[in-house]
Amino acid sequence: MPKEIRAAYQANSRSESGNPGEEYFQNNADYDIIVEFNPVSGILKGNSTIIYKNNSNADLNKIVFKLYPNLYKKGIIRKEDIDASDIGDGMEIISIMSVDSGIETVNEIGKLMIVGLSKPLTAGGSIGFICEWKYQFPMKTLLREGRYLDSTFFVAYWYPRIAVYDDIDGWDLNQYNGEQEFYNDYGSYKVNIKVPDNYLVWASGELQNPEEVYSDTVLNLLETAYNSNQIVKIIDAENLGSNKFTLNESNNWKFNSSNITDFAFCITNNFFWDATSTDLNGKRVKVDAVYSPYSVDFHEVAELSVKSIHRISKVMGVDYPFSRLTAFNGHYGMEFPMMINNGDEENRNGTVFITAHEIAHSWFPFLVGTNEHRYAFMDEGLVTYLPKVVEDELSIDGEYRSFADNIKTYSYYGNRVNDVPMMVPSEQLFGSTYMYVAYNRASMAYYTLEDILGTKTFRKCLKSFIINWSYKHPTAYDMFYTFNKVSGKNLNWFWNTWFFSFGSGDIGIADFSQKKDKLIVDIINEGGFPVPVYLIVNYEDGTSDAFHTSASIWEDGQKEKSLNFNTKKEVVSILLDDTKTPDSNKGNNFLAE
Ligand SMILES: [Zn+2]
């Protein structure tokens, strides 16, 4: 274990029971933001009042802010391509002041702003900041945010926010390079978004003044949508462009939310809008789908979202944590608290996958605040694997995009030079290596873990992990300890392979023989990682059987296993089912008599 993480366990802020330790702390910031967005110029101008609470036992003589829009600043280091026309001044801090302490220095380093205080923020104390800022929204680049059909915008990573100060690293000084995603403290948000006439707004919060912004027609339709399971088409091909949706009196859209890690919003005057709601164990969850008139599949996304919310809640053992979801049809696939931004997929099964995946992020990293800079495999791996049940149920068989596709991807990337252990800090990886490790290899690991523990125990561990770390920041070690504790098994042999080691899933069929009613198959583990064994056994009479043995057989570290199966028929050949077994080498998967 790295020494700064070991120190946290020794200091009792974390515990080998898997629970937060007695000394665990978390700081938090509450944001009150008034922002005006001009969709023609793309200028965002804001005024933020921030109250920051120091719950640590250290006095802080500086406060670190993250200025994400500096990604678009001239001369800045980034890992993603930016359209040349979007490169400019980044986030301009017009003024920053504190009522509680003098500000001695303000230093910008890349995407960080370090504010030196004349009077330290003492342990247990609070400090308030008032900050005026503006920035030019990227009008061409599609990254975390973007512009669509000229006048529709998804606005994200957009306001100055205070970095995490935690028990492992102190201040999180990670520079946002366009690739790694969330690591934010929890806080409450009061955001007033001012937009021009005829624009509609959705956000990471509940709208506080619907009667001031929506027309009576919309209010009536929403009354139905938010109180029944009916999917109400509020804006469609019939009425788009009729300007019947907003009152245009104040155009100040006021949103509130609490205990969330980030706030995003979208505005549009040319997208469709479906609204509905669903009862989730006694709690009504509102769902809006906001999508391009040209989208082929998004008309179904309100319904797919409702189904995903129910099914994923069941898998997690903990209900969907928010009161609403806005599924927005922008580009790629990206999660935000209470919102997802998904592009159009190649086919409907892609839409099923991306909808379920992004909704599953509501648990990781939003309910459970994992650090995506360092352990992207925690949230991305889990939410690539866990929604498998949704895909299995809601995909169309003919063009089935199931987890098998993911296993196929693994067989290609597994054991290549880029196949590095997941515990390599995510901020050190980029491009296809980052994607492969955080999504693909990680999902294979969780899949194998469920195979070892069985679904019941796996879900019991997962649920405990979610409950113990809701609204907190677990490390990967906290997850390992939780699973060890709740399963009652020391799984270190397993974590040591998929998470910590070079190697891969690669098993082969070395030999087979038959004695009476027994089939004996010798399996060799070439890759060194535990994987479930799925075999297709072909008989002389042309029929075949499928056999499965749990990956737990690899616990003793031996490379060869003789497996016994019952069969009366004569076996002619055996094939490793590599649609179910993660396997990086297909050369040793088939053996004939
Ligand atoms: Zn994801």
pLDDT digits (tens, 9 = 90+) for 197-241: 999 999 999 999 999 999 999 999 999 999 999 999 999 999 998
Residue 397 is predicted with a pLDDT of 64
Question: 């974590």: which residue's tokens?
Answer: 495
Spell out a b/e string for 367-378, using b for 16 or more CB atoms within 10 Å of the CB, else e.
bbbbbbbbbbbb
In 152-270, DSSP assigns E strands to 152-155, 161-162, 165-166, 170-171, 187-194, 200-203, 206-207, 232-235, 252-260, 265-268
| pLDDT score recorded for residue 401 | 61
State the Cα–Cα distance between residues 253 and 34, nearest whole angstrom.
Answer: 10
CB atoms within 10 A of CB 37: 22
SS (H, E, C) 338-373: CEEEECCCCCHHHHHHHHHHHHHCHHHHHHCCCCCC
CATH 3.30.2010.30 maps onto the chain at 210-244+271-364
Q: CA–CA separation, 529 vs 83, rounded Å?
A: 42
pLDDT, position 399: 55
Q: How far is CA 484 from CA 1, 65, 245, 530, in A?
A: 16, 37, 54, 17
In the block, which residue shows the tokens 């370090």? 114
Which residues lie closer than 8 Å to 345 by C-beta, 6 or more apart? 297, 351, 353, 354
Distance from residue 365's CA to the centre of ligand 1 (Å) = 9
Residue 585 CA to ligand 1 centre (angstroms) = 27
CA of 157 from ligand 1 middle (Å) equals 16
Report, as ranges of residue numbers, the positions in the chain whose pLDDT lies below 50: none
Burial class (CB in 10 A: 0-12, 13-18, 19+), 119: middle
CATH placement of domain 25-206+250-264? 2.60.40.1730
Task: Quote the ligand 1 centre to 384 CA distance (angstroms).
Answer: 7
**Which CATH fold would you assign to the domain 210-244+271-364?**
Zincin-like (3.30.2010)
According to the model, what pLDDT value does residue 248 have?
Answer: 87
- Distance between Cα 181 and ligand 1 center (Å): 9
- Residue of 149, 52, 69 whose CA lies nearest to 108: 69
3-state secondary structure of 463: helix
CA of 255 to the centre of ligand 1 (A): 25
CA of 361 to the centre of ligand 1 (A): 7
524 contact partners, CB below 8 Å, separation of at least 6? 507, 508, 509, 510, 559, 560, 588
395 Cα to the center of ligand 1, angstroms:
19
DSSP assigned state of 252: E
| Centroid of ligand 1 to alpha carbon of 328 (angstroms) | 15
**507-592 CATH pick, 2.60.40, 1.10.1660, 2.40.10, 3.40.50:** 2.60.40
Q: What is the pLDDT of residue 398?
A: 54
Q: How far is the CA of 375 from the centre of ligand 1 (A)?
A: 13
Report residues near ion ligand 1: CB below 5 Å.
380
> How many Cβ atoms from other residues are within 10 Å of residue 524's Cβ?
15
pLDDT at 362: 98
- Angstrom distance (rounded) from CA 27 to CA 530: 39
Tell how far CA 117 is from the center of its chain: 34
pLDDT at 404: 82
Distance in Å, CA 155 to ligand 1 centroid: 18
Q: Which DSSP letter does residue 43 get?
A: E
| Among 187, 242, 191, residue whose Cα is nearest residue 215 | 242
Q: Output the CA 381–ligand 1 centroid distance in Å.
A: 8
Peptide bond connecting 365 to the previous residue in cis, omega within 30 degrees of 0:
yes
154 closest CA partner among 271, 240, 250? 271
Ligand 1 centroid from CA 103, angstroms: 38
Distance 406 CA to ligand 1 centre (A): 14
pLDDT at 349: 87
| Cα-to-centroid distance, 356 and ligand 1 (Å) | 10
Dihedral, 324, 325, 326, 331 alpha carbons, nearest 10: 160
Give the residue range(s) of CATH 2.60.40.1730 domains in the chain. Answer: 25-206+250-264
Residue 8: which region, alpha, beta or left (left: phi > 0; alpha: psi -120 to 50)? Answer: alpha
How far is ligand 1, taken at its centre, from the CA of residue 269, in Å?
28
Q: Distance, CA 334 to ligand 1 centroid (Å)?
A: 6
